[in-house]
Amino acid sequence: MKAERKKRGRPEAAIDIDTLERLAGLACTIEEAAAVLRISKRTLLRRLEDPKYKRVWEDGLLKANVSLRRRQWALANSESPSAVTMLLHLSKHRLGQNDKSIVEMTGKNGGPIQLLELANMSREELVAKAAALGLPEKIFED
């Protein structure tokens, strides 16, 4: 009969799975969750490789997104400027939303925009090019 070997190293840290899900539901960072759970960030990251913990963490994060979206709808009808400001901030950072517009410019017949090499042109060539584009000659006056 073989003798049982003692396990080496520290005992495995206990992580309350309900607490983990609630922390993710508050959109806590890994660092914040680790601090509340009283474990290292490295330990939590290693534990999140386990499908059970990973699913709980991801479900909690998705619930946080849903909660934020629900609040967006409620605040959309609110008249509080400070609430709207915070809502926009959280929406941009948490949900990846932005207020940028994408503008695509094309040249003639949808082709590429033709760039002119103005630096290498003589004054006469510049005036001729401007005239061809319908621009007045006075744009070249000093």
Structural contact between residues 21 and 56, judged by C-beta atoms closer than 8 angstroms? yes
With cut-offs at 50, 70 and 90, classify the pLDDT of residue 2: low
Distances (CA, A) of 36 to 26, 49, 116: 12, 19, 61
Q: Is residue 96 pLDDT above 80, yes or no?
A: yes
> Can you tell me the distance from the alpha carbon of 26 to that of 36, in angstroms, rounded to the nearest whole number?
12
Distance of alpha carbon 16 from alpha carbon 60, whole angstroms = 14
The reported pTM is: 0.56
Of the candidates 75, 72, 121, 60, the residue with the CA atom closest to the CA atom of residue 97 = 72
